[in-house]
Structure 1
Amino acid sequence: MVYVLDITGSPLMPTERHGKVRRMLKDGKAKVVKKNPFTVQLCYSSTNYTQPVTLGVDAGSKHIGISASTEQQEVYVADIELRTDIVKNLFTRREARRTRRNRKTRYRKARFQNRVKSKHKGWLAPSVEQKIQCHLKKIGDLRQILPITKIVVETASFDLQKIQNPDIQGIEYQQGSQLGFWNVREYVLFRDNHECQHCKGKSKDPILNVHHIESRKTGGNAPNNLITLCETCHKTYHRLSSEEQKKWNLKRGKSFKDAAFMGIMRWTFYNRLKKCIRKLRSSKRLAI
């Protein structure tokens, strides 16, 4: 499929007549403006007849599914993989800044209220913001090569507590698994019966530690990423190589990070997209 723009840069209907496109490029009647997807621009005035094109967007936290089609055929389809290293990069930057402050400006007082999220209403975490911007950018790129007249966006919701407990109802939504515990550490120790989950008490070490299965940088402090180990096993584990650590077979529980992402970003993405569409309706009819 070759995507076509008129002489003013407005999108026309794509074509599968590759031979004609090749001859037009050779004769100087068209020029290549983009190689992926392959897009050409006409160098002469032409009719601006187009068909209604509907763009469907399956929003996601790791992948975006996109399909554009007319009533007869599908003219564009893509599966876009999103970045997943934002949290890791921000954590690394925070470590570097913290050590630099400790070395050079130790006299400064901590300013815990000096945060962006306390200054700007509607602030979102950078990891969520980046995913929303990727969705909007891809839709904007497609609008430049296709005469899109309608956009359909999926804004599905996820009931995380229902996924974990299918029989939950009523007041049980307000009584989570950590109800009655001071913090996550106390809950994890209670969940594991105050017993080392590796040696099962064989080391006779009375000191218990809460170990992160995945690093705190990427896995966070969620209970499904924590496990109880005695201090002897904990120190032994961190002295092992990565290959030897795999033999311990410590696996975190099921993560609902992707569902949480979608719960946060779905309406923000929809409203921002709708706001962008309103600005375009003055020049071109576009529905969402």
Structure 2
Amino acid sequence: MSNVFVIDTNYKPLNPVHPARARLLLTQGKAAVFRRYPFTIVLKRSVEQPEVQPLRLKLDPGSKTTGIALVNDANGKIVFAAELEHRGHAVKDSLESRRASRRGRRQRKTRYRKPRFNNRRRKKGWLPPSLESRIANIETWVARLCRFAPIRALSQELVKFDLQLMENPDLAGIEYQQGTLQGYEVREYLLDKWERTCAYCGAQKVPLQVEHIYSRAKHGTKRISNLTLACEPCNLAKGTQDITVFLATKPEVLKRLLAQVKKPLKDASAVNSTRFALLERLKAFGLPVECGSGGLTKYNRTTRGLPKTHWLDAACVGKSTPVVLSQKGVIPLRIKATGHGRRQMCVPDKYGFPKQHKKRKKTFLGYQTGDMVKARTPKGVFEGRIALRHRPSFRLEKVDIHPKYMRCVQRADGYEYTQKGGCDVAPQV
């Protein structure tokens, strides 16, 4: 697993330690468990002049999952890794359900009320709630890790593809842009757009080549919109033929390919919409922020021979990436955003009619839904998250537990945690 965070009795972050060292401190009674996820211990003494090694927190923001890595730039060791799963789609679905319910209610009861949507005003920099939740999740975890570790710098993948540099190669120097990095920028963009699949035969997990849809011999352009991916047999078979001639016997493939050319990248659009807002939030922490691109991230990961995972992509963000990255023994923490419940007081059925009313109190007997507890009962020992019931027994997994047997391990904080698996994903190109 990853290293264990350590804070002293004054809650000052110290150097993370190996799990064996943390286990020894707990056994000797010199420390106590402060938090279960991420696992943090608190010393029972204060450290006046601690010798801490500065760490860099690296982020690879994504539409669905964000990679997080804590790297020591001095020795290239990955101290902590996590993958944060967002709930942007769940937020959007909830808002759509609420909108439909309210519209149905207005049609039934206030049919003749004048519309008020023109009276609404949005502040500058407003983002949809589904995108705002992604930024809030990342901001929460950056602040949380800054409390537990001596973080002195931040790195963020600001752009997935450096489109401006691809369209204007002379912007940062012709030697820089037409070198190796230019190929990684273009190739990474095409891999995402065409889903790592041959555009002509649909082959996957084979070496793919960059192909001009309309060949240069037939006055095709060099623009990104005229590029696709093809396996070697299809690339050789097409040659300089016109795309309509080459796919004359496959009208479905031709229709799909031409539609894919104009298809926008939905996930990339979500990341692009939040990248600068996230950058401003990170700058508010008062730490130096380094920015990088997706092409540079892949270049760093490929040259270091690392597999394709979210947390390893995060470790390779930016030019500050050490020449050698040590990932031995690191198991990423899987974090899933679940939210803090809902404020809806009346629960409707599928037709929009009121079905039940929500309880007025969120807590009962000092507990709330989502709390992680450990219960020692006559039937055995149980550990997990509880579901709140307004009666003297709570639901823990598949059994009912009385609160007198329970001990709270960690309060509900809007996230679910799992720590399993490791670096077992085959490298991808």
Q: 1:277 aligns with which of 278, 285, 288?
A: 285
**What is the Cα deviation at residue 28 of structure 1?**
3.3
DSSP 3-state at the match of 2:115: coil
Match of 2:96 in 1: 91
> How far does residue 255 in structure 1 lie from its aligned partner after superposition?
5.6
1:262 is aligned, of 258, 263, 271, to: 271
Candidates 44, 60, 63, aligned match of 2:62: 60
**TM-score in terms of structure 1 length:** 0.62
The SS at the match of 2:285 is helix
Kindly state the Cα deviation for residue 137 of structure 1 after the two structures are TM-superposed: 1.0
Q: Distance in 1 between matches of 2:118 and 2:50?
A: 56
- Tell me the C-alpha RMSD between the 2 structures: 3.1
CA offset digits 1:75-130 (Å, max 9, x no partner): 01112211122211111110011111222222311123133xx3312111111111
Q: State how far apart, in whole Å, the 2-side matches of 1:155 and 1:35 are.
A: 31
Structure 2 unaligned regions, length at least 5: 168-188, 194-211, 214-220, 226-258, 290-429
Partner of 1:138: 141
1:203 alignment partner in structure 2:
none
Pairs aligned (count): 200
For 1:258 and 1:38, how far apart are their aligned partners in 2? Answer: 32
CA distance in 2 between counterparts of 1:108 and 1:168 reads 55
Distance 1:263 1:21, change over 3 A: closer
The one-letter amino acid of 1:108's match is R
Please give the secondary structure, in 1, of the residue aligned with 2:6: strand
- Hey, what does 2:86 align to over in structure 1? 82
- Aligned equivalents of 2:105, 2:18: Cα separation in 1: 58
Q: Which residue of 1 aligns with 2:4?
A: 2
Q: Matches of 1:151 and 1:142 in 2, distance apart? A: 11
Distance 1:58 1:103 in 2: 47
User: Counting helix residues as a fraction of each chain, which structure ranks higher?
Assistant: 1
CA pair 259-168 structure 1, distance change in 2 beyond 3 A: farther
Structure with greater strand share of residues:
2
Paired residue for 2:328?
A: none
Aligned to 2:332: none
Identity across matched positions, percent: 36
Residue correspondence of structure 1 range 1-288 to structure 2 within 5 A: 1-16=3-18, 18=20, 20-46=21-47, 47-70=49-72, 71-72=74-75, 73-83=77-87, 84-115=89-120, 118-158=121-161, 159=163, 167=221, 256-274=265-283, 276-278=284-286, 286-288=287-289
TM-score, with structure 2 as normaliser? 0.42
Q: Partner amino acid for 2:280?
A: N
Mapped to 2, the partners of 1:88 and 1:38 lie a distance apart of 33
SS in 2 for 1:144: helix
